[in-house]
Amino acid sequence: MSERHRLRSLGTLVLLNGLIPIRTQPLYLVNLLASPLSFLFFIYVISHGALLAFGITGGLVLTMLTAGTGLQSDLTHYRHDLKFQDVVVASPVEAPVYVVGMALSELVYSLPAIAVFVALFLVKGYATPDSIAVIGGVLLLVWGFATALAFTLATYFQDVRETFMFSPLISLVLTVLPPVYYPLAYLPHWAQIVARISPTTYAAALVQCAVGIAPSACGQSALDWAVLGAVTAALLAVAAFKARWKEP
């Protein structure tokens, strides 16, 4: 397959799983906007506006995480119910093209949420060249590991209903319990240690530091980058080895 053909396949997958379903059901766009905006609203009200900045940065992280993990339902449904993956396997489309195409298609659903949070980010004056670079890098890594996680999990799910069960759990473990929407320092010491199991803790620390809302989060940025990068690389490797293109 030539590079031109690969690009054509990739674009077609984005159209097929991203843009066309939205044409059929525009509410998909609102759906992915609902959760981060709900959190933002809740945090704003409870903190009397004091934690608004955390709500915005947390919303960005959650949006990118959902853009990745949301893929597990589509992959499972396409594989088991529609046999679409079998159709694609028996075609010139290569596995990496399918992976990237499907991942990008899922990102399309998150565009309104990204737009809203970026707009808030700009309005609140958080944007500097440094913060944009840091946040862009962090969000890319979050999307990367979430997508890898989705591909790996989808390999083991036998039914799309299993993904409905896992999605809230993933959300809880990666965005609600870790300090994505609040500073790490708010947690008791033992909980801070537990929170460090989640890669989103490191992502949130980097974002909160870049925006300047949690100076205490800036103490170990190098470590945060290293952990986030390592987790992403590890999950991508697991996905590459475990996610099945061809059945055993």
Judged by CB under 8 A, the residue of 53, 67, 71, 88 near another protein is: 88
**Site track for another protein across 188-227, x = CB under 8 A:** ----------------------------------------
**Site track for another protein across 53-82, x = CB under 8 A:** -------------------------x-xxx
Whichever of 81 and 130 has its CB closer to another protein, that residue is 81
> Is residue 228 a contact partner of residue 206, using CB atoms and an 8 Å limit?
yes
**Of residues 226, 64, 30, 244, the one with CA closest to residue 145:** 64
Judged by CB under 8 A, the residue of 48, 169, 241, 246 near another protein is: 246
Whichever of 57 and 76 has its CB closer to another protein, that residue is 76
> Is residue 50 a contact partner of residue 125, using CB atoms and an 8 Å limit?
no
Judged by CB under 8 A, the residue of 37, 89, 177, 238 near another protein is: 89
CB of 184 to another protein, least distance (A): 40
Q: What CA–CA distances, in Å, run from 128 to 12, 81, 169, 223?
A: 35, 47, 34, 22
Judged by CB under 8 A, the residue of 27, 45, 48, 90 near another protein is: 90
111/126 Cα distance (integer angstroms): 20
Taking contact as CB under 8 A, which single stretch among the options 16-24, 179-187, 203-211, 232-240 is the one that binds another protein?
Answer: 16-24
Judged by CB under 8 A, the residue of 24, 27, 129, 190 near another protein is: 24
CB of 237 to another protein, least distance (A): 21
Instruction: By CB under 8 A, tell whether 130 contacts another protein.
Output: no
Dihedral sign (CA 132, 133, 139, 143): positive
> Is residue 128 a contact partner of residue 204, using CB atoms and an 8 Å limit?
no
Judged by CB under 8 A, the residue of 26, 49, 92, 219 near another protein is: 92
**Of residues 98, 107, 136, 140, the one with CA closest to residue 240:** 98
Torsion from C-alpha of 226, 228, 231, 235, nearest 10 degrees: -130
Taking contact as CB under 8 A, which single stretch among the options 6-14, 102-110, 210-218, 225-233 is the one that binds another protein?
Answer: 6-14
Q: What CA–CA distances, in Å, run from 57 to 1, 53, 136, 151?
A: 40, 6, 12, 26
Measured CA angle at 58 (ends 20, 141), to 5 deg: 65
Instruction: By CB under 8 A, tell whether 166 contacts another protein.
Output: no
Residue given tokens 């958080």 in the structure block: 126
CA neighbours closer than 13 Å in the CB half-sphere of residue 88: 24
Q: Give the footprint of another protein on this chain (CB under 8 A).
A: 1-2, 5, 8-9, 12-13, 15-16, 20-21, 24-25, 78, 80-84, 86-94, 158, 246-248
